[in-house]
Each structure stands twice: as C-alpha cells, then as structure tokens.
Amino acid sequence: MVTFISRSPDETFALGERWGRDAAPGWVIGLSGDLGAGKTQLVKGIARGLGIAARVQSPTFALVNEYNGGRLPLSHLDLYRLDTPEQIIGAGLEPYFDQPPGVTVIEWCERWPRFQASTLSPLSSPLSPHSSRLRLVRLTQTAEAERRIDYEDFGD
C-alpha cells in the first residue's frame, strides 16, 4: 500500500493528473472516503491527465458521467445513492466495472462488495479478463486542507 499526503486541493489534483497520464485501457479506480474528502478533486486531475478538457462534476444524482475527447474515455460513477448490489445491477452499472474501454473511476466503491479491500489480495483481483488493473483508494481528511490518500493496485 502506498500513502500520499496531500496538503491542498492542488496537490490532490496533481496526483490524479499523474494517474491519468499513466492510465491504460481497462483501468478501474475505486475511491472510498467521507463527503468532502477530495474524491471528485482527484477525478478532475485524472481527467486532466487523460487530456479531457470537459468540466468534471460529481455524478451523485446522474450516477455516471462519461467524458471523451482525451486519449482514453473516462467513466465517472458515484454509488452514494445506491445501497445494495442489486440496486447497482438494476441501474446498469456493472459493465463499467468489468469491461471499461478506457478508465472507470467509482466513488463510494465500497458499496460494491468485490471492491472491499478486506476481500482482496494482490494475487486475487476481482476484475474480469477485460480489465487490466484495479486501484483501490482511501481518502481521509486529516486537517482542513490535508488529506491522507492510501492506495493499492491489484491485477497487472
């Protein structure tokens, strides 16, 4: 597990931007953290790193926002309003987890049981053969402008 301490929204954005530049087709990034922890700021950076110029917003009410125009498409999901795996399946979101053509970022990923860190090991990924990597990320607010960002990769 890697820990990054962000001391500003700009540093969180910059971390996401690095991840976006490194991203490959099939990547799934699961984000976990309280409201205001910086999840959407991280996604904005990922979009910038992918070369996406569109304004990125949290899909809390839409459930998914899709962004094109970069070197890879970005699907940004928010599971906050979905309480059970059955609701996630009923909303038609499961394909975003298994076969993304670009990068999928999932806020509140812990609501999908396969993405709970306690059930994963570096040798057993919950991904389908179409997905190359899962990055699980936990954002914790440690001070007004400071965030602890812990992340671990699974898969290739």
Q: Spell out the domain ranges in the chain.
A: 9-115+126-142
Identify the pLDDT of residue 53.
93
pLDDT in tens, the chain (156 residues): 999 999 999 999 999 999 999 999 999 999 999 998 999 999 999 999 999 999 998 887 889 999 999 999 999 999 999 988 899 889 988 888 877 889 999 999 988 877 765 554 444 444 444 456 889 999 999 999 999 999 999 886
The residues, any chain, with a CB within 8 Å of residue 73's CB and separated by 6 or more, are 66, 67, 101, 102, 103
Nearest to 112 by CA among 136, 132, 140: 136
Report the CATH superfamily, name and number, of domain 9-115+126-142.
Answer: P-loop containing nucleotide triphosphate hydrolases (3.40.50.300)
Task: Specify the pLDDT at position 118.
Answer: 52
pLDDT of residue 112: 83
Q: Which helix H or strand E contains 109, and what residues bound it?
A: none
Which residues, at least 6 apart from 124, have a Cβ–Cβ distance to it below 8 Å? 154
What counts of helices (H) and strands (E) characterise the chain?
4, 7
